Amino acid sequence: MPMAEIKTISILDFKTHSGAVFDSIKLYYQQFGKQIGTAPVVLVNHSLTGDSKLTGEGGWWNEMIGPDKIIDTNRYTVLGFNIPGNGVMDQTFSNPEDFHAGDIAFLFLKGLHALDVKFLHALIGGSIGGGIAWEMIAIAPKLCKFLVPVAADWKANDWIIANTFLQNRILKNSKKPLEDARIHAMLTYRTPQSFDSRFGRTKNQELEVYNIESWLMYHGDKLAKRFKLKAYQMMNHLLASVNIEREGKSVEDIIKKINAEIHLIAIDSDLFFTPGEDRKTFEIGKKIKKNIFYHELTSIHGHDAFLIENEKMAQILAKIF
């Protein structure tokens, strides 16, 4: 499948919740599959170090999105917005605190409006992308037919805030900030069992280190080559800011107003967005909403399992698509 070009929407006169004013913010996006207006639209929000490159050459979710895949680009228009400040097209912001995840959700909604997309068949997001999906539906409760947060929740709990706090300290204080932040992050994206099954205390004889160490260094170096420090700081800040209960609104009131069928997808071994939080959300939701469902993907691989356990993810998404 050929790579879709990166397109631009200019959002003019944008004011964030904190009061920061921008004459123009560029919203970069990619479109796959059918032309807008000819098919149901699916919006997929990327994770922390991801982008709008959903499928095709180098696409991060090729296993789920594409011709004759679960999210079939022969049947759907599939959109991916880049979170502003994630470094795509060299876009960064000097002061991440100007924004919170709700501001990003509002920018995405403005982007849909600019594309004349009034209704989504499905709104899907992985990790922070799922948090932003929650933020979008909280603002626009009639936005979509299906809401699908994957390995995500409607708020950053204390565990997420603690991890992003440490990530921020690494990014500010390390001699190799991107490499070291990524190494720490990988320890929350996977599990001890995942590492044991893959590496088994084996050694890289050439480097004279354990294979787990060389693997972590590889991922640190790989991210440092393709990501910007300011972009990582922005994304880390936004992750800590996810919270739909702003200005006195309760999650119960918000869920009550959502028209969409909600499918929560958790991972039983997730050490980052732990499944217990999704179970709490489901318990809250099912008391006030009939069409909310909880799915738990079984895997030893932790938070990243939704990118690894493709057959299991496909089985869950098949119920929606």
Over residues 234-275, the pLDDT tens digits come to 999 999 999 999 988 999 999 999 999 999 999 999 999 999
- The residues with which 266 forms a beta bridge, in sequence order, are 296
**The predicted structure's pLDDT at residue 319:** 87
Q: Phi and psi of 320, rounded to 5°?
A: -100, -35
Residue with the two structure tokens 């991890």: 163
Percentage above 70 pLDDT, the chain:
99
**Is the model's pTM score more than 0.75?**
yes
| 159-238 classified as CATH 1.10.1740.110 | yes
To 10 degrees, what angle do helices 192-199 and 211-226 make? Answer: 110
Q: Name the CA dihedral angle for 102, 107, 108, 114, rounded to a multiple of 10 degrees.
A: 150
Q: Is the pLDDT of residue 3 over 80?
A: no
The one-character DSSP state at 45 is E
Q: Is the pLDDT of residue 1 over 90?
A: no
Which residue ranges make up each domain of the chain? 7-157+244-318, 159-238
**The predicted structure's pLDDT at residue 4:** 87
Q: What is the pLDDT of the chain when averaged over all its residues?
A: 97
Mean predicted confidence (pLDDT) in 155-165: 98
Report residue 303 CA to chain centroid gap: 12
| 7-157+244-318 classified as CATH 3.40.50.180 | no
pLDDT tens digits, one per residue of 55-92: 999 999 999 999 999 999 999 999 999 999 999 999 99
What residue ranges in the chain does DSSP mark as E strands? 7-15, 21-33, 41-45, 65-66, 71-72, 77-81, 120-126, 144-150, 203-204, 209-210, 261-267, 292-297
Q: Is the pLDDT of residue 2 over 80?
A: no
More confident residue, 319 or 25: 25
Percentage above 90 pLDDT, the chain:
97
